[in-house]
Amino acid sequence: MDIRPLGDRVVVEIIEEEKTASGIVLPDVAKDKPQRGTVVAVGPGRWLANGQRVPVEVAQGDVVLFAQGAGTKVKIGDRTLLVLSESDVMAVLQSAAVPV
- Tell me which of 22 and 55 has the higher pLDDT: 55
pTM, to two decimals: 0.77
Q: 3-state class of 78 per DSSP?
A: coil
Model confidence at 10, pLDDT cuts 50, 70, 90, reads very high
pLDDT computed for residue 78 by the predictor: 87
Domains in the chain (CATH in brackets) are: 9-93 (2.30.33.40)
pLDDT class for 7, splitting at 50, 70, 90?
A: very high
* pLDDT band with cut points at 50, 70 and 90 for residue 86: very high
List phi, psi (to 5°) of 86: -55, -30
Q: 37-80: per-residue pLDDT in tens?
A: 999 999 999 999 999 999 999 999 999 999 888 899 998 888 88
- Cα separations (Å) of 98 from 10, 64, 79? 21, 11, 24
- Quick check: 95 pLDDT over 80? no
